[in-house]
Chain A
Amino acid sequence: MSGILIYGEHREGKLKRVSYELLSKGREIAQQLGEKAKVVILGNQLEEVAQEASFYADEVHLFEDPILENYNSEVYLQILEKLIKREEPSLIMAGATFQARELFPLLGGILECSVIVECVDIKTGDGKLSYVKPFYGGKILGEVIPKRYPHIVLVRPRVFQAKEKPVGQGLIRKEEVQIDMSKVGIKTLDVFKVKEKITDITEADVVVCGGRGLKAAENFNLLMELAEVLGGVVGATRAVVDAGWRPQSEQVGKSGKTVSPNLYFAIGLSGAIHHVMGMDSSKVIVAINKDPTAPIFEYADYGLVADLFEVVPILIEELKKERG
């Protein structure tokens, strides 16, 4: 067994940011181990995605077919299982996205191999790979040594850096798509996207998150404006999502998403432990809250004890001036 296989997850005809991060990291590990970096891409009409990925990998395995247009775990698994049995990679990497967190545990169940989820670091000491992952909602970190090849590792987005496009180009191999539909029991009836312009909060550089202190759904306009001027997205606490002020897809925390942006604004939220679990790996955290004893300040780099309705409009104005 040798080689690294990266799952090139994409959306709307572009590689996802986490795919770039893994292509960069995968290439680095492959060079260290003296092995090949390969990428697998599944979907329909993905010539450009394959071209892009080929700059980072030695081989691109491209599976294109209308049947692969929408994700279906059972269809995708048939392809991945066959490819992995043929290529025999020792390491398979994917982003810890909702899609991969379904697909790859199932693949691990088929291959009976080691699966590491929400990996936040990869160690390559003496040619042996080990992985760091959180336990107990991130209170504890652990180093995990896999015991069965291939290692399937689902890496948290934004843990590794996406590098500049390397020179040179790998081979694109157009693979034949063969699916036994009699073995596919799950049928997709419909896909509802929350908005036309999809925001994936796990990939954003800046997250502006609001809590109950916003007082009403319409006040989130303020945070949307701040997010827009910062080139970021809006996040929400559980209380806000439960109240129906914001969609579930924006929820940060234990029962929502884990984000680690460069800059995180915690505005009008107290910092319940469920929330902190989803954001405390952010690089820089700014907290704005009227209550100086709010737990969020224990996790923040910069703290403003202030009325958000006074401070945020000024912040938006000043940032707008800054950016011309």
Chain B
Amino acid sequence: MDILVCVKRVPDSEAQIEVKEGNVLKIEEKYTMNFFDNLAVEEAIRIKEKAGGKVTVLTFGSSSSIEVLRTALAMGADEAILIEDENVPHNDEFVTARILSKAIKDIPFDLILCGREAFDTSSGLVGPFLGKMLGIPVITMVTKVEVKPEERQLEVEREIEEGKELLRVNLPVLLTTQKGLNEPRVPTVMGLLKAMKAPIKRIKVEDLGIKPDSIVEETKVEISKLWEEKKKRRIRWIKGTPEEMVKELIELLKSEARVL
């Protein structure tokens, strides 16, 4: 079973992010593999361990994205591909999906795994867009995968609002991962050493037959303004004995907050 995993390097959820003049973001140097992508890498390796085959991770991003490819290799992925984003907008989900789809055209695969959404854009669009571009079925929010290699089928459990649903689908298919799918392994020292030396294939967007000028035409959204969400509220401390606290809280929720 040949599995492709799309990953992304994103700021850690604890990283400080500020908006500077001209809608420029100042992001603290704390980056990591996207949480849901890590689940995807882990699942791919588990499937390979059971059913055989090869795991290839790919990312579209700057040269710093090599970090997350190395993490995936250290976990047990076999090959890694970086598609470099110079001169191409990297924050438009449609363009990202288009570029990934062109890169994937020449790689044989049975299964593609993507994270449910990336922390930075918080959209969850690249997976579904990519599936449609490749003309394969897409199942999102997957919490369990059972491989039936002899039948070229998967049984997939996905999260729905009310609980779970169980689906059957023929390969090839694209799945997006939801929390609960697995607990990703921590790479071993041996794995890390091996990953440091492993070759990483680097492809320029132009090598995929995409002209940076024409791909800009394909962008679907433009961000006109960014600002920081004011999160902190002014707290009102409620003190006293438990009985006093409860009385005061109920009174404030009624008269001040007007929610009771």
Q: Interface residues, chain A, CB within 8 Å of chain B?
A: 11, 71, 73-74, 97-99, 101-102, 105-106, 108-110, 112-118, 130, 133-148, 185-194, 198, 200, 202, 230, 238, 247-249, 251, 254-256, 262-263, 273-274, 276-277, 280, 283-287, 297-307, 310-311, 314-315, 318-319, 322
Contacts and interface: CB of A to CB of B under 8 A. Distances in A.
Contacts of A247: 163
Nearest to A262: B259
A143 B17 contact: no
Interface string B105-147: 0000000000001011111110111111100011111010000
B226 A140 contact: yes
B190 interface: no
A145 B221 contact: yes
B221 A273 contact: no
B222 A74 contact: no
A299 to B, nearest CB: 6
22 contacts: A105-B129, A106-B131, A109-B97, A115-B220, A136-B11, A142-B225, A143-B223, A191-B163, A191-B166, A193-B162, A194-B164, A251-B179, A256-B179, A273-B14, A285-B233, A299-B233, A300-B235, A301-B233, A311-B245, A315-B249, A319-B250, A322-B250
Contact of A302 (B178, B222, B243, B252): B252
Nearest to A102: B140
Nearest to A203: B161
B30 to A, nearest CB: 12
B160 interface: yes
A315 B250 CA distance: 8
Interface of chain A, main secondary structure: mixed
Contacts of A255: 35-36, 178-179
Interface in B227-253: 227-229, 231-239, 242-243, 245-247, 249-250, 252-253
A190 B166 contact: yes
A254 B13 contact: yes
A199 to B, nearest CB: 9
B249 A273 contact: no
Contacts of B169: 185-187
Contacts of B64: none
B151 to A, nearest CB: 13
A141 B226 CA distance: 6
A138 B120 CA distance: 9
Nearest to A187: B168
B250 A109 contact: no
A310 B240 CA distance: 13
A303 B237 contact: yes
Given A118-B122, A254-B13, A302-B249, A188 B222 contact: no
Contact of A200 (B133, B161, B167, B223): B161
B21 to A, nearest CB: 15
B63 interface: no
A230 B250 CA distance: 12
B244 to A, nearest CB: 10
A73 B138 contact: yes
Contacts of B259: 262-263, 283-284
B25 interface: yes
Given A304-B249, A318-B247, A189 B166 contact: yes
A71 B162 CA distance: 12
A314 B120 contact: no
B122 A138 contact: yes
Contact of A301 (B129, B138, B257): B257
